[in-house]
Amino acid sequence: MTAPLTGKIALVTGASRGIGRAIALELGRSGAKVLVNYNASAAAAEALAAEIGGVAVQADVSTTAGCEALIAAAEGLGALDILVNNAGITRDMLVPRMSDEEWSAVLDTNLTATFRLCRAASGLMMRQRRGSIINLTSVSGLHGNAGQANYAASKAAISALSKSLAKELGRRNIRVNCVAPGFIETDMTKILDSRILDGVKEVAALRRVGKPEEIARVVRFLASDDASYVTGQEWVVDGGLSI
């Protein structure tokens, strides 16, 4: 049986670890040729690319030049069928003490980079008359989170950006969707106080935190032709945390 993404070219940002790594693995194992983007973690990205037959590409997505370099790398492979905007950072702080730098760093990396990559990719995808863009948001963007005003704002804005893009690009057979993870086992959540994670488990309907692979499988579905009539949606994958 042919893998569902055979012949597709995919770009995953922030793919050297965590959710991004799981997404790149899932897409690669499903047949896609994956551009594994990283900023600093060269060894991890190159090992992953070797494992799935992909290509590791260094670029800082918080810069225009970095975003353009990634799309140029995809063009060098002949196409870009799937774009997954996963790269993101946090700079948690209560608003009264949040600096301009902490605000701007998160918005530049999370939101502005997503906009720049979508802008660059959309031109290529419109010429192809096909494509799937999946942007990673967060349950923080749906409901807010104390100490994460910058992060929550960036993720909520990505959702609105994605819905607008879905309306603009749909006539060219380009789909744009979001995936909003809840608490997932990553390096980012490992540093949290165990009492926070215990609290999440108490509230979530499934009584546990999620795994990166559970996010990756939803991304793979949205990237595939199985989701050919799905666009402009935000898929919440949080184990029932937000219900």
As annotated, the active-site residues are 151
- Which string of DSSP letters, residue by residue, matches 85-109? E---------GGG--HHHHHHHIII
CA dihedral 176, 231, 20, 47 (to 10 degrees): -80
> What does the block give as tokens for 193?
């106080």
Residues, the chain, total? 243
Distance CA 4, CA 35 (A): 18
